[in-house]
Structure 1
Amino acid sequence: MPDRPTLRPETVAVSAGRPPRIPDAPMNEPVTFASAFVAGGPTEYARYGNPSWTALEDALGALEGGTCSTFASGMAAVSAVLSLVPHGGTVVVPRHAYQGTLALLDTEAGTGRFDVRRVDIADADAVEAALPGAAMVWLESPTNPALEIADIPRLAATARAAGVLSAVDSTFASPLLQRPLELGADIVVHSATKLIAGHSDVVLGAVVTGEDELTDRIRSHRSLHGAIPGPMEAFLALRGLRTLSVRLERAEANARELARRLTDAPGVLEVRDPGFGTVLGMVLADAAAGDRVMDRVRLWIPATSLGGVESTLERRRRWATEAPSIPEGLIRLSVGIEHVEDLADDLLAALG
């Protein structure tokens, strides 16, 4: 029998993580609500595994080219990865990144758990200069909310040569646009709450690793710290993953068109567009201008999350913990799958 052809990622997102093809079996892995399992198998207790997780982990692992471990939230996934840093070690991190990640890093640094070196992640020379003596480099690409791009292949190669673990938060890209393990990274992190689940109804995280030793350590952390995903959340995230390709295709097309129109829009000083993905940034004159847009939109939803089918926006410096180098008037736009003309009309009307 000929070998099965290698499937494209869009097909893997639909086909991976399904139950065995047995007559009258369900096409999708059912939700398994169980706190304990009959003894004698590899799981026995629900803190160590669940068939609903396994299906999602199989699919995400196949997409990323590694072994996936799911978590109760994106922050639980981040915490598990940072647990790999030895006590007193140094982590090289972007100056702009997800606030939760930076807050956790600063908290741990304040206790002496490890040191933090902040860098401009888009400046590969600066990142490489910060690597000597580090234990881990944390790459976020595109960054949140500045939308900077890291040279993942170059930085991952340099880190590996220096004996430094490289972890990439690829939430904004998803496995369909960027696969960091293939680019040389050691670890991939996702807030599956965002594009992967895609419907603003799930909180869930994922870590994908390419080496068994890292997977064992990540899963040990999950079990010991209890940061396990709920079976319903895993089921919903896998259901969302099935349509990621078509959602992404529509939302990306909308984002590129909106970036083009915003370039000449009244009051917009700068459009930040990484050139891929569904998140844009537009910089207005000041906080007041940004807040006026937030108040005036009718279709766009003011919200702090992103990656859903609906379009959302947020002035990021409304958070006191946002980096002071982020402009007061920066609005992050998470572009959804609505008709682009309606999105443009609402946004341009709000801009005046």
Structure 2
Amino acid sequence: MNDDVALHPSTVAIHAGRGPRAPGAPLNPPLTLASSFHGGSYAREQGAPAWEAFEEAVGALDGGRSVSFASGIGASTAIIETLPAGAKVVGPAAGYAWTRGLLRERADSGRITLTSVDTSDTEATLEACEDADLLWLESPSNPMIEIAELDRICAALRDRDVLVAVDSSFATPLLQRPLALGADFSMHSATKFIGGHSDLLLGVVTTREDHLDAKLRHVRAQLGATPGAIESYLALRGLRTLPLRLDAAQRTALELAERLSAHPAVGKVHYPGLPGDPGHERARRFMDGFGAMLSIELPAGADFAESVCRGVRVFTHAKSLGGIESLIDRRARYTGSSAPESLLRLSIGGEHVTDLWNDLDNALTKEAE
């Protein structure tokens, strides 16, 4: 690529990390299955070609240097491990249960001190960050799809020596670039939309600061949270089609959200693409799209929600998200979830919108009878 020409992120996703355009060179980075290299380099310590191509591509999108890990939670753990003992961390009161569990366990062991706050409340978040070392944000959040005011929060903390980490997995680097807004860490579970095919586990963190990059790489080597070569290869291949997949999925998500808002069996729809959603104006301000995740609350209760999950035929009733296949699940049934008992989380994939709508409508209507 010509480094002097600013390319659209969709173009960057397709071209970054391919290596030089030299005669005879492969179009795609080859899969390198090796842990040790001539001259003393060792994969756990110095990295490996398969990881580096993926890291180069994500770094180009996120606007920094990327470090990949064995999973999304491995990437989150690495960020926490860059902090000194006793560091004060402000984390979300609601969000991904495994991240909240990680922070709580570290606090219970005395590794950090933890303050939980509603991170969709900007003023409360900034107040909680007094004397903090790190603010952990998740936006859009899991599973309520809430939008934190990343631009305002990062700007307010810029001169307060508070590091800001953003889990941007739901947005992907195509829709949101936290580092450009002033965050210090941008984290993605590449297991999800970046990989896109429900066949790998991988996490990645991007930062602009050399000392933070060095800390992340040291933690990865020390804890052994190294990505697999095959997983990295697959994630990079998934990244190539992310622009197409995400564009189609979020268009479908918006149409489904609008239709579900009028469905008699649905009480509330959580999707920032809806003008009445609390996160709509925030997302319009600093995101390049509203994403492919939405949640719905069903007034009929938890049993009804479970029956809807069992009643779908095009959607797949399964855990996780971001794959080419659309998934549906009731989040509150997982230990530690802060979601309402009747909340269903929908991850929209690549199926035709008519088929997805008919499937949801049939399940909702049949179970309501």
Q: TM-score, normalising length from structure 1?
A: 0.96
Of 180, 183, 194, 2:181 maps to: 183
Does the 8 A contact of 1:160 with 1:166 survive in 2? no
Match of 2:314, SS state, is coil
Offset at 1:266? 2.6
Partner letter of residue 83 of structure 2?
V
Query: 1:260-296 deviations in whole A, cap 9, x for unaligned?
Result: 1101113100000022000000001211110010110
Could you tell me which residue of structure 2 aligns to residue 284 of structure 1?
298
Identity of aligned residues (%): 50
Q: Which residue of 2 aligns with 1:72?
A: 70
Output aligned runs, 1:233-248, within 5 Å: 233-248=231-246
Aligned partner of 1:300 in structure 2 is 315
Letter in 2 for 1:27: L
Kindly indicate whether the alpha-carbon contact (under 8 Å) linking 1:13 and 1:244 is maintained by their aligned counterparts in 2. Answer: yes
Deviation string, structure 1 residues 204-231 (Cα, Å, up to 9, x no partner): 0000001001000000000111111011
Q: Which runs of 4+ in 1 moved over 6 A?
A: none
Aligned to 2:35: 35
Write the letter of the residue equivalent to 1:189. Answer: M
Cα distance, 1:120 vs structure 2: 1.0
Residue 4 of structure 1 deviates from its aligned partner by 3.6
Q: Give the structure 1 partner of residue 192 of structure 2.
A: 194
Letter in 2 for 1:280: L
- Native 8 Å contact 1:89 1:134 kept in 2: yes
User: Taking structure 1 as reference, are residues 227 and 3 closer, same or farther at Cα in structure 2, changes over 3 Å only?
Assistant: closer
3-state DSSP class of the match of 2:295?
strand
Residues 294, 345 of structure 2: 8 Å contact kept: yes
Superposed CA deviations along residues 80-125 of structure 1, whole A, max 9, x for unmatched, are 0011222112111111111110111111111111111111111100
Matched, 1:215 2:213: yes
Structure 1 counterpart of 2:281: none
1:253 corresponds to: 251
Measured in 2, the distance between the counterparts of 1:290 and 1:190 equals 29
SS of residue paired to 1:314: strand
**One-letter code aligned to 1:303:** A
Contiguous gaps of at least 5 residues in structure 1: none
Q: Which amino acid aligns with 2:161?
A: G
Structure 2 match to 1:350:
363
What is the 5 A alignment of 1:86-105? 86-105=84-103
Residue 3 of structure 1: CA displacement? 7.1
Hey, what's the Cα distance between the residues in 2 that align with 1:46 and 1:214?
A: 20
CA displacement at 1:20 relative to structure 2: 1.6
Paired residues for 1:117-266 under 5 Å:
117-266=115-264
Between the aligned partners of 1:131 and 1:102, the Cα distance in structure 2 is 17
The root-mean-square deviation of aligned C-alpha atoms, in Å, is: 1.1
Q: Give the one of 42, 47, 56 matched to 1:45.
A: 42
Deviation at 1:7, TM superposition (A): 1.1
Name the count of aligned residue pairs. Answer: 346
C-alpha separation between the residues in 2 aligned to 1:248 and 1:137? Answer: 28
- Asked if the contact 1:86/1:135 (under 8 Å) is kept, the reply is no
**How does the TM-score come out when normalised to structure 2?**
0.92
| Mapped contact 1:137–1:159 kept (Cα < 8 A) | no
More helix by share: 2
- Any idea what SS the aligned residue of 2:363 has? helix
- Counterpart code for 1:80: A
* TM-aligned CA distance change 1:130 to 1:296, over 3 Å: same
**Structure-1 separation of matches of 2:71 and 2:38:** 28
* Unpaired stretches in structure 2, ≥5 consecutive residues: 274-289
